Chain A
C-alpha cells in the first residue's frame, strides 16, 4: 500500500479531547458515505475506539487506524485516501469540500433523471389506445399460418426481424423464462432417505430415542447446487440487433438464480452484474447503459478475454463455473492472442458454451478466422437468435452432448471445404 499521509498541519488529530474528535469522525464518516463507501454507525464507534486506542502518534498512525475500520475492500482505498487528505486538513469546510470534491457524485445524485418506469407507462397507455387495432392484426396472422400458432411463430422468429410490437412480446416472454435447474453435487451433505451414506449423528440421536435398543440407520446424500454461471456477452456493432434482447435475457437470468456474473465486451470488458441485480428491468438496463462505454463499437475478443482471464477468472471461475460466451466471433484483431486466451478460459471453466447468432443462417460455415480460432476451445456451439434457442439453453448447461451442437462438426466442415 503506497498511500502517503499528508503534511502534519490541521486540527482534530488523534490527540484531540473527547467531543470534537467524535464529532469530526462522524462528519468524516458522512463524507465517506457520500463518496460511496458503505459506512454504518457501528463503524463510527469502532473508528472512535481505534482513534482513542492510545499510542497513536502522528497522522500516519491515525490514517491507518481509520483506514482499517472504514475500508473494507481494496478499491475503496483511493476514495478513502482522497477523503482523508481533504477532510482532516480543514474539517470546518466540510460542506464546501463535499461540493468541490465530489462533482461527479453530486451530478449523479441530483440529475433530472428520466424515471425508468416512464417509458413503460407511456407504452402501456399507448397500447391501451391501440388495443383494438392489434387484435385485428393478430387475426390476420393467424389466418396466414395454418400450422403455427402466433405464439410458436414468435418463438422461432429472429430477434433482428421482429417488429417493435413483437419485440415487446418477446421481452415479456423472456421475463417469464425460467431455465431448468441444472445442479451438480457439492461437498456438503443433507439428510435423505435415498442417500448412500450413513448419517451417524442422526442415527445416534434416533437410536437414543428408544434407549439405545434399536439402531435405525439414517442416511445422507450429497447436496446439489447450481454451478456458478459466468456470461461474456459481445455488444459490438455487428451484434447490435440482438444486444437489447440479450440484456433482457441476462437480467432475467441474474434475478432468477444466484451466482451469476455478467460481463459485456466490445473494445473493453465491463462487469455489469451489480447493475443487472436491480429487480426492475428498465432500471437495471438504464444502469447498464450508464456503465458501459463502448456500445456498438468494434470487437477485440482476444484483448477482452485476456482482461477477463487476468482480472476476473481467478475470482469468478471458482467452484466449477459454467461459461456462456455470446458473440458472433467476428474479431478485428490478430488471432494469436485469442487462441491463447480461449485455451486459458477453457482450462479454468467447467464448461464453455458459445452462443452465436450467426448460426441462424442455414449456410453458415466456420470460415472467419476468429471463429475457427475459438471453436476448438468450446464444449458446445449453439444458435441464439430467437426465443426457442434461449429456452433450449437449459440443456446446454446440463452436459447434453448433442451432435448438433458439437463444435468439431463445424471445424471439419470448414476443413473439407
Chain B
C-alpha cells in the first residue's frame, strides 16, 4: 500500500501510529521535517529505544522498499555500493576468446556493463522503480571506520555514486535516509551537519505503556502496567546497561509465554536475563533487590488507582 508523504506533523504522528509506532511530538517533528526537506535523519540513542524501528515503520507505512545497510568495521565500497561479477566476466572473456572474436573496445564496454554489475545497498537506494524512492536505513554507523564515513558524505549530499567503468549514477528520486548510531564512537560533525539530528531517549511511563499496548496487545492491562512500572524503576537503578524498550517488549512476550498475569519475585528472578544483559547487573538485581523494587512499584500502582 502506498501513501503520500505526510502533510503536517499531526499527519506524521498518525502515519507512525498506523504502523504501531508511538512517537512523541519531538520525534514526529524531525521525521516530518526530514521527509519534507529531503534530508537524512540522524538518530542517536541507547540500544533498544526504537531507532531502527523508525525506518522499518516508515517504509511500511509509506509503502516503500526498505534497503538496509548494516555497518561494521571494514565495510568498504565493494560491499556497500557495488561490485563486478568477476566469474561471469571471466566466462565472457573466455567465450569471446573461443570464438576468436576479440575487439578490445567492444569487449571492455561489454564486460563493464550493467549486466555484470552487482548492486549493493547504497546503489540500490538510488533507484526508484515506479517513481517511489525507497527508505534507506544505514544502521549503526558508529561501527564503521572514518574512511567509510567520509565516503558517505559524498553519497548523502548529492545522492550520487560514481562507477568509474560506467558513469555517475544520480538518484532521480533521492531515498528517504535514516541513519542510526549507538554512540560507541563519535560520528564526525561534517556528516551530522548534512542531517537532521535527534536523540531518541527512553520513553516516559505513559508512552511506554502505549507502546506496549500497540506492540503487544496480548498482555493483560494489569501486567502491562506492572511491567512498564518495573522497567521504568529499573532504569533508575545503577546499572551497567539499562534495559531499552525492545527489552520491555521482549519481557512482556516472555511473561505471556509463561502464562503469567502478574509479576512475582520468583518470575522476575527467572526472567531477569530478558531485561539485563550483563552478569554484574543481574547479580545486583536478583533476589531481594528485585523484590524491593516490585513491592515499591506495586505500592505506587495501588496509590495511583486509589486516587
* A43 touching B193 in the complex, CB below 8 Å, given contacts A318-B185, A340-B280: yes
Q: Beyond A40-B193, A340-B280, is A68–B198 a contact (Cβ under 8 Å)?
A: yes
Contact partner, A212, options B96, B184, B193, Cβ 8 Å:
B96
Contact between chains at B97 and A213 (CB < 8 Å): yes
A50, B86: Cβ atoms closer than 8 Å: no
> B193's contact among A1, A72, A201, A207, by CB below 8 Å, is which?
A72
A310 beta carbon closer than 8 Å to chain B: yes
* B94: A residues at CB distance < 8 A: 212
Number of A-B contacts (CB under 8 A): 129
Closest approach, in angstroms, between the C-beta of B168 and any C-beta of chain A? 19
| Chain B contact residues: helix, strand, loop or mixed | helix
* Cα-based distance from A69 to B193 in the complex (angstroms): 8
Chain B residues lying within 8 Å of A72, measured Cβ to Cβ, are 189, 192-193, 197
Point out the residue from B10, B184, B204 that lies within 8 Å of A318, measured CB to CB.
B184
Distance of A69 Cα from B198 Cα, bound (Å): 9
Q: Which of B23-31, B246-254, B289-297 binds A?
A: B23-31
Q: Is the CB of B76 within 8 A of A49?
A: no
- Which of B32-40, B59-67, B218-226, B259-267 contacts the other chain? B32-40
Q: Any chain A CB within 8 A of the CB of B245?
A: no
* A130 CB–B CB distance under 8 Å: no
Is A132 in the interface zone, CB < 8 Å from B? no
Q: Which residues in window 48-105 of A have CB below 8 A to B? A: 49-50, 53-57, 60-61, 64-65, 67-69, 71-74, 77
On whether the beta carbons of B29 and A64 are closer than 8 Å, the reply is yes
How far in angstroms is the closest Cβ of chain B from A159? 33
| Contact residues in A for B34 (Cβ distance below 8 Å) | 68
CB distance from B256 to the nearest CB of A (A): 30
> Which chain B residue shows the least CB distance to A42?
B193
Q: What residue of chain A has the Cβ atom nearest to residue B147's Cβ? A: A188
Q: Known contacts A49-B37, A55-B7, A64-B29; decide if A74 and B107 are in contact (CB<8 Å).
A: no
For B75, give the chain A residue with the smallest CB separation: A187
Instruction: State whether the Cβ of B151 lies closer than 8 Å to any Cβ in chain A.
Output: no
How far is B196's CA from A359's CA once the two chains are assembled, in angstroms? 52
Asked whether, in the complex, the Cβ of A68 is within 8 Å of the Cβ of B196, the reply is yes
Contacts of B280 in A (CB 8 A): 340, 344
What 1/0 mask marks residues of chain B from 99 to 131 whose CB sits below 8 Å from any chain A CB? 000101001100100000000000000000000
What are the residues of chain B within 8 A of A42 when measuring CB–CB? Answer: 193
Min distance, Cβ B52 to any Cβ of chain A, angstroms:
18
Query: In the complex where A1-B201, A55-B8, A68-B198 touch, is A50 in contact with B192 (Cβ < 8 A)?
Result: no
Complexed CA–CA distance, A216 and B251 (Å)? 58
**A200 contacts the other chain (CB 8 A):** yes
CB of B53 closer than 8 Å to a CB of A? no
Contact between chains at B37 and A208 (CB < 8 Å): no
Interface magnitude class on chain B: 35 or more
- Cβ-defined partner of A315 (8 Å) among B104, B186, B196, B201: B186
B74 interfacial contact with A, CB 8 Å = yes
A186 to B111, CA, bound (A): 31
In the bound complex, do residue A314 and residue B26 qualify as a contact, i.e. CB atoms below 8 Å apart?
no
B298 located at the interface, meaning its Cβ lies under 8 Å from any Cβ of chain A in the complex = no
Separation in Å of the B51 CB from the closest CB of chain A?
Answer: 13
Which size class do A's interface residues fall under? 35 or more
B233 → chain A closest CB, angstroms: 17
With A65-B29, A208-B107, A314-B184 already in contact, the answer to whether A46 and B37 are too (CB < 8 A) is yes
CB of B152 closer than 8 Å to a CB of A: no
Q: Is the CB of A208 within 8 A of B199?
A: no
A315 lies within 8 A of B185 (CB)? yes
Report the Cα distance A1→B43, complex, angstroms.
13
CB A58 to nearest CB in B, in angstroms, measures 10
Q: Find out whether the CB atom of B26 lies under 8 angstroms from the CB atom of A64.
A: yes
Residues from chain B with Cβ under 8 Å of A207 in the complex: 93
> Are A211 and B107 touching (Cβ within 8 A)?
yes
B-facing residues in A15-67 (Cβ within 8 Å): 38, 40, 42-43, 46, 49-50, 53-57, 60-61, 64-65, 67
Q: Does B183 contact A (CB under 8 A)?
A: yes
Q: Does B89 contact A (CB under 8 A)?
A: yes
Instruction: Name the residue on B nearest A198 (C-beta).
Output: B86
B73 near A187: Cβ-Cβ < 8 Å: yes
Q: Is A255 an interface position by the 8 A CB rule?
A: no
- For the complex, give the distance between the alpha carbons of A136 and B37 in Å: 74
Q: Give the residue name and chain of the A residue nearest to B76 (CB).
A: A188
Asked if B44 lies at the interface with its beta carbon under 8 angstroms from chain A, I say yes
Interface check B19, CB cutoff 8 A: no
Cross-interface CB contact of A186 among B73, B143, B183, cutoff 8 Å: B73
Question: Contact between B192 and A73 (Cβ–Cβ < 8 Å)?
Answer: yes
User: Whole-angstrom distance between the alpha carbons of A188 and B32 in the complex?
Assistant: 37
B11 to chain A, nearest CB (A): 8
- Asked if A106 CB lies within 8 Å of chain B CBs, one says no
Query: Is B197 in contact with A201, judged by CB distance below 8 angstroms?
Result: no
- Would A68 and B30 be within 8 Å (CB), given that A212-B93, A213-B97 are in contact? yes
B155 at the interface (CB under 8 A from A): no
Closest-CB distance, B111 to chain A (whole angstroms): 7
Bound complex: CA A30 to CA B91 (Å): 62
Give chain B nearest CB distance to A336 CB in angstroms.
13
Chain B residue numbers with a CB within 8 Å of A188 are: 74, 76, 145, 147
| Smallest beta-carbon distance A77→chain B, Å | 7
Q: B residues within 8 A CB of A319?
A: 73, 145
- Do B240 and A55 touch across chains, with their CB atoms under 8 A apart? no
**Which one, A211, A310, A340, A344, contacts B102 given CB within 8 A?**
A211
Report the minimal beta-carbon distance from B149 to chain A, rounded to whole angstroms: 14
Q: Which of A178-198 contact B (CB under 8 A)?
A: 186-189
A61-B96 in contact given A68-B196, A211-B104, A318-B185 (Cβ < 8 Å): no
A240 on interface, CB distance cutoff 8 Å:
no
Measured CA separation A73–B45 after assembly (Å): 10
Query: What residues of chain A lie closer than 8 Å to B30, measured between beta carbons?
Result: 64-65, 67-68
In the complex, which residues of chain B have a beta carbon less than 8 angstroms from the beta carbon of A315?
183-186
A218-B110 Cα distance, complex, nearest whole Å: 22
Listed by A's residue number, 22 A-B pairs whose Cβ atoms lie within 8 Å are A3-B26, A43-B193, A53-B32, A53-B37, A54-B8, A55-B7, A56-B9, A61-B25, A64-B25, A64-B26, A68-B198, A69-B196, A72-B193, A73-B192, A77-B199, A188-B74, A189-B76, A212-B94, A215-B90, A315-B185, A316-B185, A319-B73
Q: Besides A208-B111, A212-B96, 16 other CB < 8 A contacts? A: A1-B199, A55-B9, A64-B26, A65-B33, A71-B197, A74-B44, A74-B183, A186-B73, A188-B76, A188-B145, A201-B86, A203-B86, A204-B111, A208-B104, A211-B107, A318-B184
- Give the top 8 A-B pairs by smallest Cβ distance, nearest first: A187-B74, A55-B8, A64-B29, A212-B93, A68-B196, A72-B192, A200-B86, A68-B30
